[in-house]
Protein backbone atom coordinates (compact mmCIF):
# COMPACT_ATOMS: atom_id res chain seq x y z
CA UNK A 1 0.00 0.00 0.00
CA UNK A 2 1.27 3.47 -0.87
CA UNK A 3 1.08 6.25 1.68
CA UNK A 4 2.40 9.80 1.79
CA UNK A 5 5.97 9.89 0.37
CA UNK A 6 8.68 9.67 3.00
CA UNK A 7 6.51 8.00 5.65
CA UNK A 8 6.33 4.42 4.42
CA UNK A 9 9.78 3.21 5.43
CA UNK A 10 11.18 3.11 8.93
CA UNK A 11 14.84 3.81 9.65
CA UNK A 12 15.17 0.32 11.16
CA UNK A 13 14.05 -2.46 8.84
CA UNK A 14 11.82 -1.94 5.81
CA UNK A 15 8.39 -1.77 7.43
CA UNK A 16 6.65 0.16 10.18
CA UNK A 17 5.56 -1.28 13.50
CA UNK A 18 1.79 -0.79 13.93
CA UNK A 19 2.44 1.65 16.78
CA UNK A 20 4.33 3.78 14.25
CA UNK A 21 1.75 3.31 11.50
CA UNK A 22 0.47 6.26 9.50
CA UNK A 23 -2.77 5.80 7.59
CA UNK A 24 -2.44 8.59 5.05
CA UNK A 25 -3.12 7.10 1.60
CA UNK A 26 -1.21 8.58 -1.30
CA UNK A 27 -2.03 7.20 -4.72
CA UNK A 28 -0.15 8.25 -7.82
CA UNK A 29 -1.51 6.11 -10.66
CA UNK A 30 1.14 7.28 -13.09
CA UNK A 31 0.29 7.34 -16.79
CA UNK A 32 -3.49 7.10 -17.09
CA UNK A 33 -6.09 7.93 -19.72
CA UNK A 34 -8.73 10.34 -18.55
CA UNK A 35 -8.79 12.66 -15.55
CA UNK A 36 -8.32 12.16 -11.81
CA UNK A 37 -12.09 12.06 -11.35
CA UNK A 38 -12.89 10.10 -14.52
CA UNK A 39 -10.18 7.50 -15.12
CA UNK A 40 -10.80 5.63 -18.36
CA UNK A 41 -7.77 3.34 -18.32
CA UNK A 42 -5.10 2.69 -15.71
CA UNK A 43 -1.46 1.97 -16.36
CA UNK A 44 -1.34 -1.75 -15.51
CA UNK A 45 2.36 -1.51 -14.70
CA UNK A 46 1.51 0.75 -11.74
CA UNK A 47 -0.48 -1.85 -9.80
CA UNK A 48 -1.92 -0.74 -6.48
CA UNK A 49 -3.57 -2.27 -3.44
CA UNK A 50 -5.42 -0.60 -0.59
CA UNK A 51 -4.32 -3.48 1.64
CA UNK A 52 -1.17 -3.43 3.75
CA UNK A 53 1.48 -6.13 3.48
CA UNK A 54 2.07 -7.29 7.09
CA UNK A 55 5.01 -9.58 7.73
CA UNK A 56 6.09 -11.74 10.65
CA UNK A 57 9.87 -11.77 11.01
CA UNK A 58 10.05 -10.71 7.37
CA UNK A 59 7.80 -13.46 6.02
CA UNK A 60 4.29 -13.51 4.54
CA UNK A 61 1.81 -15.57 6.53
CA UNK A 62 -1.53 -17.33 6.09
CA UNK A 63 -3.97 -17.20 9.00
CA UNK A 64 -7.28 -18.94 9.57
CA UNK A 65 -8.69 -22.44 10.16
CA UNK A 66 -6.20 -24.20 7.88
CA UNK A 67 -3.24 -22.54 9.59
CA UNK A 68 -4.61 -23.47 13.02
CA UNK A 69 -5.17 -27.07 11.93
CA UNK A 70 -1.66 -27.49 10.54
CA UNK A 71 -0.08 -25.92 13.63
CA UNK A 72 -2.08 -28.22 15.92
CA UNK A 73 -1.18 -31.22 13.74
CA UNK A 74 2.55 -30.54 13.77
CA UNK A 75 2.48 -29.67 17.48
CA UNK A 76 1.26 -33.21 18.07
CA UNK A 77 -2.36 -32.60 19.13
CA UNK A 78 -3.77 -36.13 19.21
CA UNK A 79 -7.36 -35.22 18.31
CA UNK A 80 -6.26 -33.15 15.32
CA UNK A 81 -3.85 -35.81 14.06
CA UNK A 82 -6.48 -38.56 14.30
CA UNK A 83 -9.21 -36.62 12.54
CA UNK A 84 -7.01 -35.12 9.82
CA UNK A 85 -5.38 -38.48 9.04
CA UNK A 86 -8.82 -40.09 8.88
CA UNK A 87 -10.12 -37.44 6.49
CA UNK A 88 -7.10 -37.54 4.19
CA UNK A 89 -7.20 -41.36 4.16
CA UNK A 90 -10.87 -41.32 3.16
CA UNK A 91 -10.04 -38.89 0.34
CA UNK A 92 -7.01 -41.02 -0.64
CA UNK A 93 -4.80 -37.94 -0.46
CA UNK A 94 -1.45 -37.25 1.27
CA UNK A 95 -1.30 -34.76 4.13
CA UNK A 96 -0.10 -32.08 1.70
CA UNK A 97 -3.51 -32.33 0.02
CA UNK A 98 -5.05 -30.42 2.90
CA UNK A 99 -3.31 -27.30 1.61
CA UNK A 100 -5.93 -26.78 -1.06
CA UNK A 101 -9.31 -25.16 -1.62
CA UNK A 102 -11.11 -28.36 -0.59
CA UNK A 103 -8.81 -28.89 2.37
CA UNK A 104 -9.25 -25.30 3.54
CA UNK A 105 -13.04 -25.69 3.58
CA UNK A 106 -13.77 -29.33 4.40
CA UNK A 107 -12.00 -30.08 7.66
CA UNK A 108 -10.49 -26.90 9.15
CA UNK A 109 -13.74 -24.91 8.95
CA UNK A 110 -15.82 -27.84 10.18
CA UNK A 111 -13.49 -28.20 13.15
CA UNK A 112 -13.59 -24.44 13.75
CA UNK A 113 -17.37 -24.67 14.01
CA UNK A 114 -17.29 -27.75 16.23
CA UNK A 115 -14.75 -26.37 18.72
CA UNK A 116 -16.66 -23.21 19.72
CA UNK A 117 -19.90 -25.20 20.04
CA UNK A 118 -18.24 -27.27 22.74
CA UNK A 119 -16.68 -24.21 24.38
CA UNK A 120 -20.04 -22.41 24.46
CA UNK A 121 -21.49 -25.03 26.75
CA UNK A 122 -18.51 -24.69 29.11
CA UNK A 123 -18.76 -20.90 29.20
CA UNK A 124 -22.54 -21.06 29.66
CA UNK A 125 -22.13 -23.33 32.69
CA UNK A 126 -19.59 -20.90 34.17
CA UNK A 127 -21.95 -17.99 33.52
CA UNK A 128 -24.85 -19.69 35.26
CA UNK A 129 -22.62 -20.56 38.23
CA UNK A 130 -21.50 -16.91 38.52
CA UNK A 131 -25.08 -15.66 38.34
CA UNK A 132 -26.22 -18.08 41.02
CA UNK A 133 -23.35 -16.86 43.22
CA UNK A 134 -24.44 -13.23 42.78
CA UNK A 135 -21.72 -12.19 40.30
CA UNK A 136 -23.62 -9.99 37.81
CA UNK A 137 -20.60 -8.24 36.29
CA UNK A 138 -20.49 -8.22 32.49
CA UNK A 139 -16.94 -6.86 32.13
CA UNK A 140 -13.84 -5.88 34.09
CA UNK A 141 -14.40 -2.13 34.55
CA UNK A 142 -11.40 -1.40 36.79
CA UNK A 143 -9.74 0.72 34.09
CA UNK A 144 -12.89 1.88 32.30
CA UNK A 145 -12.93 5.40 33.72
CA UNK A 146 -10.90 7.67 31.37
CA UNK A 147 -10.06 10.06 34.23
CA UNK A 148 -7.94 7.29 35.77
CA UNK A 149 -5.80 6.83 32.66
CA UNK A 150 -2.28 8.22 32.23
CA UNK A 151 -1.98 11.26 29.98
CA UNK A 152 -0.45 9.05 27.31
CA UNK A 153 -1.00 5.29 27.16
CA UNK A 154 -0.81 2.55 24.60
CA UNK A 155 -2.46 -0.84 24.39
CA UNK A 156 -2.42 -3.98 22.25
CA UNK A 157 -5.13 -6.55 21.73
CA UNK A 158 -4.63 -9.95 20.07
CA UNK A 159 -7.16 -12.66 19.39
CA UNK A 160 -7.73 -15.69 17.20
CA UNK A 161 -10.98 -14.94 15.36
CA UNK A 162 -12.75 -17.60 13.23
CA UNK A 163 -11.28 -15.99 10.12
CA UNK A 164 -7.76 -15.96 11.60
CA UNK A 165 -5.34 -14.13 13.88
CA UNK A 166 -5.64 -10.38 14.32
CA UNK A 167 -4.21 -7.53 16.36
CA UNK A 168 -5.28 -4.00 17.28
CA UNK A 169 -2.85 -1.30 18.40
CA UNK A 170 -4.20 1.82 20.10
CA UNK A 171 -2.53 4.95 21.44
CA UNK A 172 -4.50 7.37 23.64
CA UNK A 173 -3.42 10.88 24.54
CA UNK A 174 -5.42 13.27 26.75
CA UNK A 175 -8.32 10.79 26.85
CA UNK A 176 -8.60 10.79 23.06
CA UNK A 177 -7.58 8.15 20.52
CA UNK A 178 -4.35 9.34 18.91
CA UNK A 179 -3.63 6.27 16.77
CA UNK A 180 -5.49 3.08 15.94
CA UNK A 181 -4.03 0.44 13.67
CA UNK A 182 -5.49 -2.97 12.80
CA UNK A 183 -3.83 -6.00 11.23
CA UNK A 184 -6.69 -8.41 10.66
CA UNK A 185 -7.06 -11.84 8.98
CA UNK A 186 -7.77 -10.53 5.49
CA UNK A 187 -4.88 -8.07 5.82
CA UNK A 188 -2.60 -11.09 6.19
CA UNK A 189 -4.21 -13.35 3.59
CA UNK A 190 -4.92 -10.74 0.89
CA UNK A 191 -1.52 -9.10 1.33
CA UNK A 192 -0.02 -7.79 -1.91
CA UNK A 193 3.58 -8.40 -2.89
CA UNK A 194 6.12 -6.61 -0.74
CA UNK A 195 9.45 -4.97 -1.66
CA UNK A 196 11.07 -8.44 -1.45
CA UNK A 197 8.52 -9.74 -4.01
CA UNK A 198 7.00 -12.10 -1.44
CA UNK A 199 3.43 -13.01 -2.31
CA UNK A 200 0.46 -13.21 0.03
CA UNK A 201 -1.71 -16.25 0.75
CA UNK A 202 -4.39 -15.43 -1.84
CA UNK A 203 -1.88 -15.13 -4.65
CA UNK A 204 -0.04 -18.27 -3.55
CA UNK A 205 -3.29 -20.26 -3.46
CA UNK A 206 -4.31 -19.07 -6.95
CA UNK A 207 -1.04 -19.81 -8.70
CA UNK A 208 -1.40 -22.70 -11.15
CA UNK A 209 -5.19 -22.80 -10.84
CA UNK A 210 -6.74 -24.58 -13.82
CA UNK A 211 -10.09 -23.27 -15.07
CA UNK A 212 -12.63 -25.33 -16.97
CA UNK A 213 -14.13 -22.20 -18.57
CA UNK A 214 -11.58 -19.33 -18.50
CA UNK A 215 -14.16 -16.57 -19.02
CA UNK A 216 -16.17 -17.98 -16.09
CA UNK A 217 -13.42 -18.43 -13.48
CA UNK A 218 -15.47 -20.22 -10.82
CA UNK A 219 -12.36 -22.03 -9.60
CA UNK A 220 -10.79 -18.70 -8.65
CA UNK A 221 -13.93 -17.67 -6.77
CA UNK A 222 -14.04 -20.98 -4.90
CA UNK A 223 -10.42 -20.63 -3.82
CA UNK A 224 -10.85 -17.05 -2.62
CA UNK A 225 -14.13 -17.90 -0.87
CA UNK A 226 -12.31 -20.65 1.04
CA UNK A 227 -10.46 -17.87 2.91
CA UNK A 228 -13.74 -16.17 3.88
CA UNK A 229 -12.41 -12.76 2.73
CA UNK A 230 -13.54 -9.58 4.42
CA UNK A 231 -12.15 -6.45 2.77
CA UNK A 232 -14.20 -4.29 5.11
CA UNK A 233 -11.74 -5.44 7.76
CA UNK A 234 -8.62 -4.58 5.78
CA UNK A 235 -9.60 -1.33 4.04
CA UNK A 236 -11.39 1.68 5.52
CA UNK A 237 -12.25 4.81 3.54
CA UNK A 238 -13.43 7.70 5.70
CA UNK A 239 -13.12 11.47 5.61
CA UNK A 240 -11.01 13.41 8.09
CA UNK A 241 -14.18 14.12 10.05
CA UNK A 242 -15.17 10.45 10.12
CA UNK A 243 -17.83 10.75 7.43
CA UNK A 244 -18.33 8.07 4.80
CA UNK A 245 -16.85 9.11 1.45
CA UNK A 246 -18.47 6.57 -0.84
CA UNK A 247 -20.81 3.59 -0.72
CA UNK A 248 -20.59 0.87 -3.38
CA UNK A 249 -23.17 -1.86 -3.90
CA UNK A 250 -21.97 -4.97 -5.73
CA UNK A 251 -24.59 -7.26 -7.24
153 is an annotated ligand-binding site residue: no
Q: Which of 238, 233, 77 is nearest to 166 (CA)?
A: 233
Q: Rounded distance, CA 21 to CA 175, Å?
A: 20
Pairwise CA distance, residues 25 & 14, whole Å:
18
CA–CA dist 32, 179 (Å, integer): 34
- Check whether 233 is labelled as a binding-site residue: yes
Q: List the strands of the sheet with 164-173, edge to edge.
A: 152-161, 164-173, 176-183
Confirm whether residue 230 is marked as ligand binding. yes
The DSSP 8-state label assigned to residue 162 in this structure reads T
Q: How many CB atoms lie within 10 A of CB 21?
A: 19
Length of the chain: 251
CA-wise closest residue to 29 among 7, 55, 49: 49
The closest alpha carbon to 227, from 188, 177, 178, belongs to 188
d(CA 17, CA 171): 13
Q: Let me know the angle formed at the C-alpha of 219 by 213 and 220, rounded to the nearest 5 degrees.
A: 110
Q: What are phi and psi of 236, to 5 degrees?
A: -130, 125
Instruction: Return the ∠ at Cα 226 (arms to 204 and 16), rounded to 5°.
Output: 50
Could you tell me which residues are annotated as the binding site for Ni(2+)? 230
Residue numbers belonging to the annotated binding site: 230, 233, 236
Residues flagged as binding site for Mg(2+)? 236
* Binding site per annotation, positions for Fe cation: 233
Amino acid sequence: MWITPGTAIRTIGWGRHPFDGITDPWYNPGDVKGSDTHIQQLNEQERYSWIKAPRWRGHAMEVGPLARTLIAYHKGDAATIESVDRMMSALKLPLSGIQSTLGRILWPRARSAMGPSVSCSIFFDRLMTNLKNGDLATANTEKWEPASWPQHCRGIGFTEAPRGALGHWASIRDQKIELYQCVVPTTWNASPRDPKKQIGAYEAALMGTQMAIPDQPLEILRTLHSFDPCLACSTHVLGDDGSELIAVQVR
